[in-house]
C-alpha cells in the first residue's frame, strides 16, 4: 500500500509523536511524508528528521493532500492543534479547500499521544483504516464528519466579516503573517470595508500592524475571504534547537534535503567569490522557498527578521535585519547566525528603507550578487544612516 502523510505544524514534531507514528505506519506499506508549514520545517531540522519528512516543498496542506491523491492509496493528515477542537476546525478548513475529499481514503490523526487525541475518517472510504489506526495508537475514533465547515465568512458586498475560531484570550492575531491585534475574547470577528480592515471585534487592534498589512500610504486592499489568518504562538518552547554544524556534510549519511538549502561552495567559486543575497520582505513564511543558494538574507520588518533569522540559523546563513522596534516577541525564541547584523531604525521606517534597498541596492530585484557581505552591509548602512538608532552585530 502506498501511503502519503501530510504533517502540519511544529508541535506534532516537537512532541516526538510524528517520528513515532511514522515509524509504525511505514510497516504498513511504502510511505511518503511531507511537511506543510514553515515553522514546522524548523522543527523537522531540529529533530533531525529531514531524511524522513520532506521539507523542500512550499505547499498548503490542502494542496499536499490533493497531490498525494494522485499517487497514493491512503492519505493521512497528522496534526497537533492547541486543543482537539482547534485541530478539527483546522482540518475542516483544509478539507473544504479540496475539490473532492472522496477521491482516496483520507484520515486525520489529531493530537497523538494525548488523552484527547482522535482519529477522524474524512470519507467513508477510510473508515476501516481509521478504525485500524484507532486501535493501533489507542486513540478515540470519530465518525465521518457529516459537514465540512469552510471558513466562516459574511459577505455584504463591500463589507466582509470573517469569524475566527479557536482563539484564546491573550493570543496574537495574524493576517498574512502580520500581527494585527491581540485577543481579548474567544470570539473574534475581523471586519473589512472595501478591502481594508476597520475593526476586529473581541481584540485590541495593533494599528502599526494594520498599516503594514495595507502597505502604509500605498493603501493595498486584502481579501478577507482568502487571506491567511492565524492566532496564537508560532511554536511552543518545548524543543531543542539543532546544533550548528561547521560545514555541510558531504557523505552518503548526510541529509540531502538540508544540503539542498545550504549555500554551495562550488557555486560560490563559480561566482568568483561574489556573494548572493536575497530580500525577505514581510514573507517570513516563505523563507525556505526564497533563500535558494543565497549566502545572506536582508530581512525587512521586525517579526520577519525574528522568524527568518530563527529559520536561517539552522541553515547557517546570516541576515541583515531591518527593524523599527515593532517586534511582538514570538514565543518560539529566535536564534541568529554569527555574522548577522540587526539595524534598529526610527519607528515606521523599516518598510521605507526596505523599499529603497530593493530599488537602489538590488536594482529592483529580490536577488542580487555583491563583491562581499561587508560591501552589502556598508551600502545598507550608508542608505539608512540618518535613521539608525543602533545596530547589533552577532
| Residue 111 grid coordinates | 493530537
Tell me the C-alpha distance between 142 and 162, whole Å. 28
Q: Is 132 helix (H, G, I), strand (E, B) or coil?
A: helix
Of the candidates 145, 95, 106, the residue with the CA atom closest to the CA atom of residue 5: 106
List of domains in the chain: 2-141 (3.40.50.11220), 153-231 (no CATH), 256-393 (no CATH)
From first to last of its 394 residues, the chain has per-residue pLDDT tens of 999 999 999 999 999 999 999 999 999 999 999 999 888 999 999 999 999 999 988 888 999 999 999 999 999 999 999 899 999 989 998 998 899 999 999 999 999 999 999 999 999 999 999 999 999 999 999 999 987 777 788 999 899 999 998 888 999 898 987 889 999 999 999 999 999 999 999 999 988 889 888 987 789 999 999 888 888 766 665 655 655 554 444 333 334 435 445 444 455 454 457 999 999 998 887 898 899 999 999 999 888 898 899 999 999 999 999 998 765 544 445 789 999 999 999 988 998 999 999 999 999 999 999 999 999 999 999 999 999 999 999 9
Give the pairing of strands 319-323 and 341-345.
parallel
For 316, residues 6+ apart whose C-beta sits below 8 A from its C-beta are 244, 245, 248, 262, 263, 337
H-assigned helices in the chain: 11-14, 17-25, 38-46, 61-71, 84-96, 127-137, 207-213, 256-261, 265-270, 287-291, 302-314, 350-356, 373-384
pLDDT of the residue at 270: 47
Cα(48)–Cα(40) distance, rounded to whole angstroms?
A: 12
Q: Judge whether 139 and 113 are in contact, CB under 8 Å.
A: no
- pLDDT value for 216: 75
Alpha helices in 196-255 (DSSP H): 207-213
Structure confidence at residue 303 (pLDDT): 82
3-state secondary structure of 287: helix
Amino acid at each position: 500500500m502506498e501511503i502519503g502523510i501530510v504533517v502540519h505544524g511544529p508541535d506534532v514534531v516537537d512532541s516526538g509523536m510524528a517520528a513515532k507514528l511514522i515509524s509504525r505506519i511505514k510497516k504498513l506499506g511504502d510511505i511518503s511524508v511531507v511537511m506543510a508549514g514553515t515553522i514546522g520545517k524548523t522543527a523537522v531540522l531540529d529533530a533531525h528528521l529531514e531524511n524522513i519528512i520532506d521539507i523542500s516543498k512550499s505547499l498548503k496542506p490542502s494542496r499536499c493532500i490533493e497531490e498525494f491523491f494522485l499517487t497514493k492509496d491512503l492519505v493521512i493528515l497528522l496534526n497537533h492543534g492547541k486543543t482537539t477542537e482547534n485541530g478539527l476546525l483546522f482540518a475542516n478548513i483544509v478539507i473544504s479547500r479540496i475539490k473532492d475529499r472522496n477521491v482516496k481514503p483520507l484520515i486525520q490523526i489529531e493530537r497523538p499521544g494525548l488523552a484527547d487525541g482522535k482519529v477522524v475518517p474524512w470519507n467513508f472510504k477510510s473508515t476501516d483504516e481509521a478504525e485500524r489506526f484507532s486501535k493501533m495508537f489507542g486513540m478515540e475514533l470519530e465518525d465521518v464528519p457529516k459537514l465540512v465547515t469552510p471558513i466562516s465568512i459574511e459577505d455584504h458586498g463591500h463589507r466582509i466579516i470573517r469569524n475566527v475560531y479557536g482563539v484564546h484570550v491573550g493570543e496574537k492575531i495574524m493576517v498574512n503573517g502580520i500581527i494585527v491585534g491581540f485577543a481579548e475574547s474567544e470570539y473574534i470577528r475581523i471586519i473589512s470595508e472595501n478591502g481594508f480592515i476597520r475593526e476586529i471585534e473581541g481584540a485590541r487592534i495593533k494599528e502599526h500592524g494594520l498599516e503594514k498589512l495595507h502597505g502604509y500610504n500605498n493603501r493595498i486592499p486584502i481579501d478577507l475571504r482568502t487571506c491567511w489568518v492565524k492566532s496564537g504562538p508560532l511554536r511552543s518552547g518545548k524543543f531543542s534547537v539543532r546544533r550548528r554544524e561547521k560545514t555541510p556534510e558531504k557523505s552518503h549519511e548526510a541529509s540531502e534535503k538540508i544540503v539542498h538549502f545550504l549555500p554551495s561552495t562550488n557555486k560560490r567559486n563559480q561566482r568568483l567569490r561574489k556573494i548572493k543575497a536575497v530580500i525577505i520582505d514581510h514573507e517570513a513564511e516563505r523563507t525556505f522557498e526564497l533563500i535558494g543558494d543565497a549566502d545572506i538574507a536582508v530581512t525587512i520588518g521586525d517579526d520577519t527578521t525574528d522568524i527568518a533569522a530563527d529559520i536561517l540559523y539552522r541553515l547557517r546563513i546570516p541576515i541583515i535585519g531591518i527593524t523599527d522596534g515593532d517586534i511582538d516577541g514570538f514565543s518560539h525564541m529566535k536564534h541568529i547566525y554569527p555574522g548577522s547584523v540587526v539595524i534598529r531604525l526610527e519607528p515606521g521606517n523599516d518598510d521605507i528603507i526596505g523599499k529603497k534597498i530593493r530599488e537602489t541596492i538590488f536594482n529592483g530585484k529580490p536577488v542580487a550578487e555583491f563583491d562581499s557581505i561587508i560591501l552589502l552591509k556598508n551600502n545598507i548602512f550608508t542608505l539608512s544612516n540618518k535613521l539608525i538608532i543602533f545596530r547589533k552585530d552577532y
